[in-house]
Amino acid sequence: MPTLLEAKEVTKVYRKSGHPSLNKVSFRVAEGEFIGIMGASGSGKTTLLNVLSTIDTPTSGNIWINNVNLKSLNHTSAADFRRDNLGFIFQEYFLLDSLTIRENIAVPLTLQKLPPKKIENMVRSLAERFGIASQLNKYPGELSGGQRQRASAARAIVKKPSILFADEPTGALDSSSATELLNTLYEANKELQTTILMVTHDAYAASFTKRILIFKDGCIIKEIMNQGNNRRDFYESIAAEITKLDSAR
């Protein structure tokens, strides 16, 4: 598989005297991969997500996505880059409250200036796949947390981004909604070949990915691969690894 994202020696220092939030982090993500980022609070997960998604700039080091060096982007071209390449899912859903679910999912497509008919068809077919077709005319406030998060995932995936960033997507969900969402992401990865980079501290959520990078103090301290195809086994090995790390604290 060709490389989609490459981070090389990425460092981010917020305060001159303080510890770096990211310390010479290097890794690659292949096209079509579903990768998990784990770590305790303050380990640099959010900073990593911010610099990868052009919202923040690293102090040093380089990041390439689709062979574009993010350093070369200015304010406006970064916005265009996000529009064309990146999708986001957040713990708090961040749906626009005044828009219906249909309109929420349609926003990224209008930004790409697609014709209305095409937008409607794309929204509908994705909503069906995500099980929210009957909620399209409702407002976010009328939906359950799980439905909202699926709507938010649909909004991120509908524009077929090169890579989808998911920041603790199951953090606010109950276990059955979380499972539904993770299955949806898993299928999207498998069937639509969407590359997903998911930040989570939940071993269960992480077990849906194919590879996990564990962060501590701004560095990658461990990489776990899902060698077999059994999610249950992968979960066990993640949990074991986490316990080991915890006992070392």
Partner 1 sequence: MNTISMAFKNLRKNFSFYALYILSVSLVITVYFAFTSFSMNNVMLEKISGDGRVESMCKAISVFLIAFVIFYMSYSNRFFLRRRTKELGIYALLGYRKESILSLLISENIIIGIFALVMGLVSGAIMHKGIVFGTTVLLNLSIDNAKIPFFNFIAVADTIVFILGVLFVLALSNARFLFKTSLMDLVRFEKSAERSMKFRKISALLGFILIIVGYGLALDIFRGNASLWFSVGFYPTGLMTAMLIVAGTVLFIASFLPYAAQKSKRHKKTFYTETKIVTVPDFIYRIRSNAKTLIMLTLLSAATLTVSSVMALSLFYPIAAVARIAPSELEFRIEEEGQLSGAKLLVSQYAPDNSVTYIQTDIYKVTASAEKLPMEYSVGTSKGSADNENIFREAGFECISYSQYVSLLQAQRRNDIVGKLSVLQDDECILVKYQPNADGSNETGSIYSLNIHDGSIPLTVKATTLNNPISFANSIGTMIVSDNVYEQIKSGTVLENSIVSINGEGIEDNEKLFEDMSDLLDNSPYLQGHSHRVNEIMSASSSTFLLIGFLVVLFFIATGSILYFNNISAVSDSKADYEILSKMGYSNKKLKKILRKQILTFFSIPFLFGLIDCIFATIVYKTGLMQDLLGNTITLYFPTIIAVALTASIYFIYYFVTVHTCYKTVLNA
Interacting residues toward partner 1 by CB under 8 A = 53, 55, 75-76, 79-84, 86, 88, 90, 92, 94, 96-100, 103, 106-111, 113-114, 116-117, 119-120, 138-139, 141-142
Instruction: Report the amino acid identity of residue 110.
Output: T
**Region for 13 from its dihedrals, namely left if φ exceeds 0, alpha if ψ lies in -120 to 50, beta otherwise:** beta
Buried-exposed string 155-192: b where 16+ CB fall within 10 A, e elsewhere:
bbbbbebbbbbbbbbbbbbeeebbbbbbebbbebbeee
Q: Minimal distance in Å, beta carbon 98 to partner 1?
A: 3
Question: CB 52 → partner 1: shortest distance, Å?
Answer: 12
Q: Where do runs of H (alpha helix) occur along 132-216?
A: 145-157, 175-191, 203-206
In the complex with partner 1, which residue's Cβ is closer, 27 or 94? 94
135 or 207: whose CB is closer to partner 1? Answer: 135
Query: Quick one: 156 or 220, whose CB is closer to partner 1?
Result: 156
Q: How many CA atoms lie within 13 A of 106 on its CB side?
A: 18
Q: Determine the Cα–Cα distance for residues 185 and 162; give it in Å rounded to an integer.
A: 14
Minimal distance in Å, beta carbon 108 to partner 1?
5
| Nearer CB in complex with partner 1: 18/141 | 141
Q: Which is nearer to partner 1, 117 or 232 (CB)?
A: 117
CB 142 to partner 1: min, Å: 6
- CB 113, min distance to partner 1, A: 7
Rg for the chain, CA atoms, rounded: 18
